[in-house]
Amino acid sequence: MESHLRSIFKAVTWRTGGTVVTFLTAWLVIGRIDDAAKIGVVDTLLKIGVFYFHERLWNHLPFGKMKPPEYQI
């Protein structure tokens, strides 16, 4: 089980890399750095939120999870 804070940090660090890729792609296609930056910012904000909720949903699914031992020494 992960904390909400861990999920938020994972989303932010993942999107940082994704933002750079989106910005560079938009810049190459559009050729305008200001529009590429706007696309990068909007894309990042949306995808951080989507990733966070995706992570939280997966935390509720039992698929692939190991059950913790009934006791620990």
- The chain-wide mean pLDDT, for the chain, equals 88
pLDDT of residue 66: 81
Q: Taking the model in full, what pTM does it have? A: 0.62
Residue with tokens 């992570």: 55
Do 63 and 47 meet the contact criterion of CB atoms below 8 Å apart?
no
Tell me, rounded to whole angstroms, the distance of Cα 10 from its chain centroid: 6
Mean pLDDT of the region 3-10: 86
User: Can you give the residue ranges of every domain in the chain?
Assistant: 4-60
